[in-house]
Every structure is written in structure tokens, then in C-alpha cells.
Amino acid sequence: ELASSRTVVLNCMSLSSAQGVFAAVAAQLGLPGRAPARELARRLQQRLTAEGPMVLLVLDELDQLDSKGQDVLYTVFEWPWLPGSRLVLIGMANALDLTERGLARLQARPGCRPQLLPFAPYTREQLAAILQERLRQVAGDTVLDGSAVQFCARKVSAVSGDARKALDICRRAVELLERDARSQTLLKPLPPGE
């Protein structure tokens, strides 16, 4: 059953506006994307309720679709509940209260209420393990000292527990090390007699 399904994965951070989600999804589903957002939303609704394979739509950074009136989010969240819909929607957001805070109309319709799966922030130990595993994948000498990794994991777990933040800090530390190494002048031995 899943073998014939269509999967569309989209990072909403890459969109220039909330309405851009319609053009991006339309393009992934092979629909012409040159139309106003409202028209694209209508075409997508028709495609998703017509005969065909199931569509799994994964929207990462879903909170980026936050807009005035929440029309874009309402449209996307209502697609799976349309009669004959073939859409399964998975949205990932940093805002745990996104659907309660900004989408009251969904809460009023019990059938449209999204199922939430909150993920707890990573602990210091988990972050350290993630960082160490990523660093093991780097060939060559040890890039960051173990105490630096532990320090980073401790700080990030105290603030957010976000593995992306910890990885970004390590990436920037490595970039600074590389820049410093490139800027150092290597002294060459003088030829004999000079």
C-alpha cells in the first residue's frame, strides 16, 4: 500500500512566504506552479481528493507558515479531512503550542484536531553522544577535545537541548580553528649559507 504512495518533503524555512508552500507542493506533485496562491491551493485540493496514490506530505519548520489570519496553515491542516482526501500530513515545528495558540478553528472541529507528538529536549549526555558520534565520522586527527564537547553539550542542554544548536556551535568552532590554521605563517628553513 505504501509502495505506491507519493512522499513530498519540504522545509518551510526555504520558502520566501507562507503562500509559497502551495507552489512548492504543486511542483513536487507535478502540477503547474504559475498561478496565484488561492488558485494553487484549489488545484492541490482537487488533486488530493481525486483518485490516485496516497500522498505523504512532510512539512519541516511548519511554524514558518504562520501568517496573518492563518489562512495558509488552516488550508494545509484541513486537506487531510476533506472528503476523499488521500493526504497524510506530518508537520514538525519548534512551537509546541502552534495548533492550540494559532489555529482555534481546528480545535473546534474534533475531527480536524492534529495529534501532537512532543519530543523532549536532548539531555547533556545525549547531546555529548550525538556530538562525539558526528566527530568520529571525521577522518584524521581529533578535531575537538572531549572536554570541549562536554562543555558544549552542558551549555546547550541548559538552554534548549537542541542538537542542531550544539552541532552548529561545533561547526563554527571547527571553522574558526581552520581559519586560524590557514592564517598562521609556516616558517621554512633557510637554505645553507644564508
pLDDT, tens only, 22-44: 999 999 998 886 888 889 999 99
Whether the CB-CB separation of 91 and 59 falls below 8 Å is answered with yes
Is the pLDDT higher at 181 or at 161? 161
CATH of 6-108, one of 3.30.450.40, 3.30.420.10, 3.40.50.300, 3.90.1150.180: 3.40.50.300
- Look at residue 187 in the predicted model and tell me its pLDDT: 64
- Look at residue 35 in the predicted model and tell me its pLDDT: 86
Tens of pLDDT, residue by residue over 37-66, are 889 999 999 999 999 899 999 999 888 887
Q: Is the pLDDT of residue 2 over 70?
A: no
Average pLDDT for the chain: 84
- Look at residue 96 in the predicted model and tell me its pLDDT: 67
- Look at residue 24 in the predicted model and tell me its pLDDT: 92
How far apart, in whole angstroms, are the C-alpha atoms of residue 161 and residue 151?
13
Q: Is the pLDDT of residue 104 over 70?
A: no
Of the listed ranges 84-98, 149-163, 174-188, the least confidently predicted one is 174-188
- Largest Cα–Cα distance in the chain? 90
- C-alpha grid cell, residue 70: 492563518
- C-alpha grid cell, residue 42: 484549489
pTM, two decimals, is 0.70
- Look at residue 54 in the predicted model and tell me its pLDDT: 92
> Which residues are CB-neighbours of 55 under 8 A, at least 6 positions away?
5, 6, 7, 8, 29, 48, 86, 87, 88
Tens of pLDDT, residue by residue over 127-152, are 999 999 988 887 666 778 889 999 99
Closest CA to 23 of 43, 7, 5: 43
Alpha-carbon 69 to chain mean position: 23
Domain segments of the chain as ranges: 6-108, 124-186
